[in-house]
Amino acid sequence: MTSAKQKIIESLLVQKELYGDELFRKTILTEPDLNVGKDFPNKVEKKISPSLKKIESLSVSNSSFGTDSTEKLTQYYKEICECLECPLGKTRNKFVFGVGDPNAKVMLVGEGPGADEDEQGIPFVGRAGQLLTKILEAISFKREEVYIANIVKCRPPGNRTPNPVEIETCIPYLHKQIEIIQPKLILCLGTTAAVSLLKRKESLGAMRNKVHQVGEIKVVVTYHPAALLRNPNWKKDCWADVQFFRKLYDEM
């Protein structure tokens, strides 16, 4: 095989790892509706994606292939995907880089991979991820048109909160992803994501209902979807947060 062919195949495999599995999973493998969002306000249920939306979403993500950000992100993935800079690298199954549109205007930032994410190498694919997809759809975003990443790229054992050393070691990777993607808006999911990205020591309640700033990027804070699954009473507040977030996006 010529080296040019090898390069193309290698690049396609990386792109599949970064984007293809997600598209494949959403369009071919996933059952359209799960019940995890049934307690979310009614609007969520009305907007659960029909199969047609999934087909439409393919063209949105595919439109990013070959762009500068895609190439930079793919290159960056290759540079860091074998990272062992903190102890989480030794216990992970898969490195979880991020998923979505490399040219997204909107980024979502969570805390770290859980068991399902560690197994698949994709953020937010477990029950919390399925709820997140429905929340996005409720405010008229397709999952494929945003970019989703975490503060740490490897699963903390037992789903514990990553410790300060792990966060400090890993967060430069997220900063670099933000620099490449250049989103206009970021939604922080949960206290750890917000505290780490905003460098604030405040409660989630104190950080909600405000527009924060990271450089030029506006940042809004809401609950982590896993917290909503544990405590459905918070869904109402989350609904207010994401509507606020959508309004900011619409006003851009």
Min dist CB 174 to ligand SF4, Å, is: 9
Nearer Cβ to ligand SF4 (41/87): 87
Min dist CB 156 to ligand SF4, Å, is: 8
Nearer Cβ to ligand SF4 (151/238): 151
Min dist CB 161 to ligand SF4, Å, is: 13
Min dist CB 82 to ligand SF4, Å, is: 9
Distances (CA, A) of 155 to 88, 111, 248: 7, 10, 32
Q: Nearest-CB residue to ligand SF4? A: 89
Nearer Cβ to ligand SF4 (57/177): 177
Tell me which long-range contacts 40-46 makes (C-beta under 8 A, separation of at least 24): 40/131, 40/134, 40/135, 40/138, 40/228, 40/235, 40/239, 41/138, 41/235, 41/236, 41/239, 43/138, 43/239, 44/134, 44/135, 44/137, 44/138, 44/239
Nearer Cβ to ligand SF4 (60/80): 80
Q: Which residues of 33-50 are buried (b: 16+ CB within 10 A; e: fewer)?
A: eeebbeebbeebeebbbe
Min dist CB 189 to ligand SF4, Å, is: 17
Amino acid 193 reads A
Distances (CA, A) of 28 to 31, 43, 123, 124: 9, 26, 18, 18
Main-chain phi, psi angles of 151, to 5 degrees: -65, -45
Min dist CB 252 to ligand SF4, Å, is: 31
Chain positions contacting ligand SF4, by CB under 6 A = 83-86, 88-89, 152-154, 166, 169-170
Could you give the CA distance from residue 230 to residue 220 in angstroms, rounded to a whole number?
A: 22
Nearer Cβ to ligand SF4 (76/244): 76
Nearer Cβ to ligand SF4 (56/168): 168
